[in-house]
Amino acid sequence: MKNNIKKWIYMLGLMGGTMATFSACTNLDETLYDELDQEGYYNNKLETLSAVLRPYTHAQAWATPGRNGWWRLSEYAADQLAWPQKGQHGFDGGNWIRLHHHTWTADEETLNEAWLLAFGGVGYCTNPIENLESREAASMGITEEERLAYIGELKLFRAFHYLRIMDLWGNVPIATETNKTPEPTNPPTNSRQEVFEFIEKEILENVENVPLLSKEMTGRVSRAAGYAMLVELYLNAEVWTGTPRWDDCIAAADKLLTGTAGGQNGTMQLDVNITDAFKPDNHLSKEVIFAIATEFQNSTTQPQWPSEFFYFNHRDINGGGRNGNNGAVVIPGVFSTFADTDLRKKEWMLFGPQMMFSDPTKPVLGSSDEYAGRPVIFVDNIRRNSVAAANGTDPEQLPSNMTTGEGNSGVRFNKYRIGNLAHPSYNSTDWNVYRLTWINFAKAEAIMRRAGGAANADAVELINASKQRSFAQGDRAGNLYTPATLTMDELLAERGREFIFEGYRRQDLIRYGKLHTESWWDHQPSTAIRNLYPIPNRQRVLNPNLEQNEGYN
């Protein structure tokens, strides 16, 4: 076992019947905001821990790539990633096209599933909170100190769910009690301001009551994760409430930057290499603050994101055992925003000819697309190059949009690695929610916004601390920032390069006022209502107390 939560994931996997009780409680036609079956739990420490940790296994479904959750709604509506139709593949009812062009409606099943998954996670937190609060510690086989720490941890994790829910929908119900009657409750809509205040209160009241981040708390909500949530909350406070909270953002960031909230592997600090936080054994990273953990070696859990990013024959590229749906690609032009000497361009993306992992002298051959049986060469464009080649015409004259892709269209994801089959941590890569680099950028942005957009030496140092890792020693001098070159627009551009694929791009664009005002590739400006998603109409039928967001019906 690599660490404590990996061990408990394994142990929970052994409790198959008990786990089924939980997983059967999410009805895809109804949002059970807080109702879960509690029978068979809390008789001993293992049963109690299984209830405490259940929300973490569920989080992979909604907080990471691979299903209709926060990540897809956050990235495919923004300016870096897309899932275009590639020949006969990837149309998927136009779901990804509508996200890309901001033409979604309140009837999207994509939105409905994301809502159900996120609020299902709220329920997985709320039920054990109530049980832990109503039971004596000794009856559950735990100490009073553990009981209080579990309650604080779950309240922080529930606040994290609401932070993400508020980010997407703004005005949503706050449900903190389980149903006490046979009929489902229909909680009313709370304003975004009220949701913000609820999240802030929950975090502030509980952050000092949970353990410091340590190896044992890897993959769980620790004190460090709580302060990272506050950083995100305050960084976006002006958008979410109308009132900037830059000083509070800086103060929360300092709790992490000074090391007072603990560290996953000793003192929290930036990793030396740009790949350390994304390797199969990234549980050894020093900069990861909170991650969705998996443990493939000793359980059935594995990352779900390969299906989102991997090519049909991806196992030939990386020597692993998993292929994907040939889905997400980098929007044309984004790849070229990385300097050729930027190590992130080579390490985090796949471009050009792909060679066999087992024999690098042989090309990977295409499968199930226009390039079946031919070498796979990923290109920085989305157009029907094979048609131009067959006709002898100029491919630059071809149309390029969300429906004109081919199997090899677009630069591909290579940021996170699952490793090859021989890697001791193969297929157990954790998905990072917060890492220290993100805290550096948040504090730098708060410093600059507080100063009217101007960078000072502190802001520059925070950004350069991470950027210098992205260049060889001899290439750094011309690529690091000064107070004159670190403008607000340049900070947004560098955020895009550093956090590509990590889920924050929509949020960043909204904070900069650019999500609905800018053009990119074939996307044209939309309207300000697109800064929020509509409340799914299926949920409004089930709960008449839900109020629709402005501009939708």
HEC string for 311-370: CCCHHHHHCCCCCCCCCCEECCCCHHHCCCCCHHHHHCEECEECECCCCCCCECEECCCC
Residue by residue, pLDDT tens for the chain (553 residues) are: 455 555 555 445 434 333 333 332 333 345 554 444 555 679 999 999 999 999 999 999 999 999 999 999 999 999 999 999 999 999 999 999 999 999 999 999 999 999 999 999 999 999 999 999 999 999 999 999 999 999 999 999 999 999 999 999 999 999 998 866 666 679 999 999 999 999 999 999 999 999 999 999 999 999 999 999 999 999 999 999 999 999 999 999 999 999 999 999 999 999 999 999 999 999 999 999 999 999 999 888 899 999 999 999 999 999 999 999 999 999 999 999 999 999 999 999 999 999 999 999 999 999 988 999 999 999 999 999 999 999 999 999 999 999 999 999 999 999 999 999 999 999 999 999 999 999 999 999 999 999 999 999 999 999 999 999 999 999 998 999 999 999 999 999 999 999 999 999 999 999 999 999 999 999 999 999 999 999 999 999 999 999 999 999 9
pLDDT attached to residue 368: 86
* DSSP conformational letter for 513: T
pLDDT attached to residue 299: 86
Q: Are 203 and 255 in contact (CB under 8 A)?
A: no
Task: Give how far Cα 407 sits from Cα of 28, 97, 203, 277, Å.
Answer: 33, 17, 45, 29
* DSSP conformational letter for 8: H
pLDDT attached to residue 24: 28
Residues near 476 by Cβ (< 8 Å), separated by ≥ 6? 468
β strands within 52-186, DSSP E: 81-82
Cα gap 529→538, rounded to integer Å: 20
Give, rounded to a whole angstrom, the gap between the first and last alpha carbons of the chain: 50
pLDDT attached to residue 184: 64
pLDDT attached to residue 4: 58
pLDDT attached to residue 82: 98
How do strand 81-82 and strand 329-330 relate by DSSP bridges?
antiparallel
Q: Are 466 and 342 in contact (CB under 8 A)?
A: no
Q: Helix 45-63 crosses helix 4-14 at what angle (to 10 degrees)?
A: 100
Angle, CA 73 vertex, CA 71 and CA 77 arms, to 5°: 120
pLDDT attached to residue 183: 62
Residue 27 amino acid letter: N
Considering Cα of 215, then 136, then 140, then 62, what sign does the dihedral take?
negative
Q: Which residues is 366 bridged to in the sheet? A: 372
